[in-house]
Homo-oligomer: A and B are copies of this chain.
């Protein structure tokens, strides 16, 4: 038992050491606020220095920043300042900065550079980052850059580009450590020490058989803790999650999350190891995919605030036009009851309440269902149970709201029939909302349509149409108007 010794040693050191006045914040803390964002004052000084063309001052300000913060800085300065900023901090523009840049910001900067410079950057980047940089260039520019690259790097990028976007093949890194199962722990350590060209950061070693098929995985902590003479075969875990190269990145992210993976082997259709995916890339994807669902549900397109404004306008306007169509359908339902409204205009005053509340209830259900589908929590197995669950919720909420608004209307306007009609319409429209909120996304999912993209249109059409129809229809039916 020498663990206590170490503790002992630490304690002795502690007793002897003078009080440390060291500051433990990250080195760039002066430019960051308490939420780790660049301070407005700091960004303002950079912008002022850029304005005054005091490029030494710009360099001096930016130099202490972490590459991720330099990348953020590019987003925060104005679009026309970005190329100037890049020029004034040229030798700080390392691969880490390029890799961290927002796609649109990077495209702007990269677009301004000659092909051979871009090729030079791409050669230094990890394959996945190089691909991210090149995949959005147009075909001709992409070819020009690839032509300038070393054959080996070019081959890696071309191979990555041969997989569809957002698949494991695009995402994977071709730098990984794979060794044959015959090695011992000692052999592996020697091999790692001798081979300087291996990646410097990796978390697991893949053990492959003679056909380069992965047969197991060794966490580095296990290797460090085993005697040298133990064969890797006895240390490795055989329980692996292999990622086919054509798997969608959202699916990959779900596997990482479900099985708490740090890295995973990517295999080709014949089962050969061709790359690895590490969790740091997955973190971005989980963030992106979850954000995508919010943005798609609300029809906000890509939602990237750095996207060129015309693309944003186009994406949002397309969605608004689709919604205009549904609004016209709903409005034509109201049109059917125009005479009733002319006779009893109070109907027009109250009808938006019924349709609006249905819309709100539908959106609630939709948000829950879309997330449950995206995270694999809602599957064929529990769909029926969830439909019943939403039905019960809708009935309860509809009844509560119906009583509330029905009672209120009856009292306020001294018209019990009007209260009964709006109360009943509220119950009906809540049921429509709850059922549409789950049936629409579940059905779309079954037809392999992304439920986040198109569900909202159908659900709000249903709640608008049924809201107006049930309220105005009941009003006419009961002889109210």
Smallest CB separation, A65 vs chain B (Å): 12
Query: Which of A106-114, A138-146, A148-156, A379-387 sits within the interface?
Result: A379-387
CA distance A298 to B282 in the complex (A): 27
Smallest CB separation, A246 vs chain B (Å): 12
Contact B227 A316 (CB under 8 A): no
Main secondary structure of the interface of A (DSSP, over half): helix
Smallest CB separation, A394 vs chain B (Å): 9
Whether A137 is near chain B, meaning CB under 8 Å from some CB there, is no
Whether A115 is near chain B, meaning CB under 8 Å from some CB there, is no
Closest residue on chain B to residue A197 by CB atoms = B3
Number of copies: 2
CA distance A97 to B377 in the complex (A): 16
Contact A305 B212 (CB under 8 A): no
Contact A366 B193 (CB under 8 A): no
CA distance A283 to B279 in the complex (A): 9
Known: A27-B239, A331-B352, A363-B298. A357 touches B323 (CB 8 A): yes
Contact A210 B352 (CB under 8 A): no
Q: Which of B279, B317, B332 contacts A262 (CB 8 A)?
A: B279
Whether A130 is near chain B, meaning CB under 8 Å from some CB there, is no
Within 8 A of B (CB), among A447-469: 460, 464, 468
Q: Which of B10, B179, B381, B392 contacts A40 (CB 8 A)?
A: B381
Whether A371 is near chain B, meaning CB under 8 Å from some CB there, is yes
Whether A180 is near chain B, meaning CB under 8 Å from some CB there, is yes
Smallest CB separation, A73 vs chain B (Å): 9
The 6 closest A-B pairs by CB, nearest first: A290-B290, A13-B210, A348-B348, A17-B210, A220-B220, A298-B367
Known: A225-B200, A287-B290, A371-B295. A352 touches B352 (CB 8 A): yes
Whether A267 is near chain B, meaning CB under 8 Å from some CB there, is yes
Whether A117 is near chain B, meaning CB under 8 Å from some CB there, is no
Q: Which of B17, B251, B382 contacts A209 (CB 8 A)?
A: B17
